[in-house]
Amino acid sequence: MQIVEILNSRAIKQFVREHSDAEAPLREWVAKTRAAEWKNNSDVLNTFRSADHLGDQKFIFNIGGNNFRMAAMVWIDKERVYVLKLMTHAEYDRETF
């Protein structure tokens, strides 16, 4: 069983300090991600049905019933996920990726 490494977990901790209601859904995301056995982008999308694949390794994950969004790079072959940015849904609507 592989364990996916989550890089830049500081971003998650900082976001939770500012948005305590994101803590439980982010813990769930972390647990699912670490336990994932992804072989391709479709596997990522099957694990997180509401995620969007933006191309290359970039994904947007809906967190907490779509209250929050996470932009992340997913390197399936290296079993690593790098958290780029966490946002509220409103902040995400103002972003461009």
Render pLDDT for 36-65 as a digit per residue (tens, 0 to 9). Answer: 999 999 999 999 999 999 999 999 999 998
| Residues in CB range of 59: below 8 A, 6 or more apart | 44, 48, 51, 52, 53, 71, 72, 73, 74
Three-state secondary-structure class, residue 94 = coil
Enter the pTM of the model.
0.90
What topology is assigned to 5-93 in CATH? YaeB-like fold (3.30.2310)
More confident residue, 70 or 93: 70
Do 70 and 29 touch, CB atoms closer than 8 A?
A: yes
Render pLDDT for 5-43 as a digit per residue (tens, 0 to 9). Answer: 999 999 999 999 999 999 999 999 999 999 999 999 999
Q: Checking DSSP bridges between strand 52-55 and strand 5-7, what pairing results, if any?
A: unpaired
Closest C-alpha to 83, from 65, 95, 71: 71
